[in-house]
Structure 1
Amino acid sequence: MTKVRPNILLIYTGGTIGMVKDFETGALKAFDFKNLLKRIPELKQLDCDIETISFKEPIDSSNMNPVYWVQIAEIIEKHYAAFDGFVVLHGSDTMSYTASALSFMLENLDKPVVLTGSQLPIGDLRTDAKENLITSIHVASLQRYNKPVIREVTLYFEYKLYRGNRTTKLSAEHFEAFASMNYPELVTSGVHLKVNHDYLLKPKRRKDLIVHKNLDTNVTIIKLFPGITETVIRSVLNTPGLRGVVMETYGAGNCTTEEWFLNLIKDAIHRGIHIINITQCAGGSVLMGQYETSEKLKRMGLISGKDITTEAAICKLMYLLGQNVSAKVFKTIYETSLRGELV
Structure 2
Amino acid sequence: MAQLKPNILLIYTGGTIGMIKDFETGALRNFNFNDLLKHIPELKLLDCEIDTTSFETPIDSSNMNPIYWADLVTIIEDAYDNFDGFVVLHGSDTMSYTASALSFMLENLSKPVVFTGSQLPIGDLRTDAKENLITSIQIAALREKGQPKISEVCLYFEYKLYRANRTTKINAEHFEAFASLNYPALAESGVHLSVNDEALYKPNRRKKLKVHKRMESEIMLVKMFPGICETTLEHIFSYDGLKGVVLETYGSGNLTNENWFIDLLKKLIKKGVPVINVTQCSGGGVNMGLYETSTQLKRIGVISGKDCTTEAALAKLMYLLGQQISTSSFKTIFETSLRGEMQ
Structure 2 partner of 1:78:
78
Q: Residue 82 of structure 2 aligns to a residue in which SS?
A: coil
1:162 aligns with 2:162: yes
Q: Residue 38 of structure 1 aligns to a residue in which SS?
A: helix
Q: CA deviation at 1:38?
A: 2.0
Conserved? CA contact 1:4–1:146, under 8 Å: no
Aligned mates of 2:237, 2:146 — CA distance in 1: 51
* AA in 1 matched with 2:231: T
* AA in 2 matched with 1:239: Y
* AA in 2 matched with 1:181: L
Conserved? CA contact 1:157–1:177, under 8 Å: yes
Structure 1 partner of 2:61:
61
Aligned mates of 1:144, 1:38 — CA distance in 2: 31
Q: CA deviation at 1:2?
A: 4.3
Aligned mates of 1:118, 1:268 — CA distance in 2: 41
TM-score of the superposed pair, with normalisation by structure 1: 0.99
Conserved? CA contact 1:18–1:30, under 8 Å: yes
Matches within 5 A, 1:274-289: 274-289=274-289
TM-score of the superposed pair, with normalisation by structure 2: 0.99
* AA in 1 matched with 2:234: R
Q: CA deviation at 1:3?
A: 2.6
1:45 aligns with 2:45: yes
Structure 1 partner of 2:297:
297
Q: CA deviation at 1:139?
A: 0.5
1:15-38 CA deviation, whole Å, 9 max, x = no partner? 000000110111111121111122
1:202 aligns with 2:228: no
1:226-275 CA deviation, whole Å, 9 max, x = no partner? 00011121111112210100001110001111111111111111111100
Conserved? CA contact 1:169–1:179, under 8 Å: yes
Structure 1 partner of 2:28:
28
1:314 aligns with 2:318: no
1:334 aligns with 2:312: no
Conserved? CA contact 1:3–1:146, under 8 Å: no
1:35-79 CA deviation, whole Å, 9 max, x = no partner? 112211111111100000011100000000000000000000000
* AA in 2 matched with 1:31: F
Aligned mates of 1:236, 1:110 — CA distance in 2: 40
Conserved? CA contact 1:97–1:311, under 8 Å: yes
Structure 1 partner of 2:236:
236
Aligned mates of 1:115, 1:178 — CA distance in 2: 12
1:113-155 CA deviation, whole Å, 9 max, x = no partner? 0000000000001000000000000100000122100000000
1:107 aligns with 2:107: yes
* AA in 1 matched with 2:174: H
1:258 aligns with 2:258: yes
Unmatched 5+ stretches in structure 2: none
Q: Residue 262 of structure 2 aligns to a residue in which SS?
A: helix
Conserved? CA contact 1:87–1:113, under 8 Å: yes
Structure 2 partner of 1:191:
191
Structure 1 partner of 2:173:
173
Unmatched 5+ stretches in structure 1: none
Structure 1 partner of 2:95:
95
Conserved? CA contact 1:246–1:313, under 8 Å: yes
Q: Residue 341 of structure 1 aligns to a residue in which SS?
A: coil
* AA in 1 matched with 2:148: P
Structure 1 partner of 2:217:
217
Aligned mates of 1:4, 1:288 — CA distance in 2: 52
Aligned mates of 1:51, 1:142 — CA distance in 2: 17
Runs of 4+ in 1 over 3 A off after TM superposition: none
Aligned mates of 1:3, 1:150 — CA distance in 2: 19
* AA in 2 matched with 1:41: P
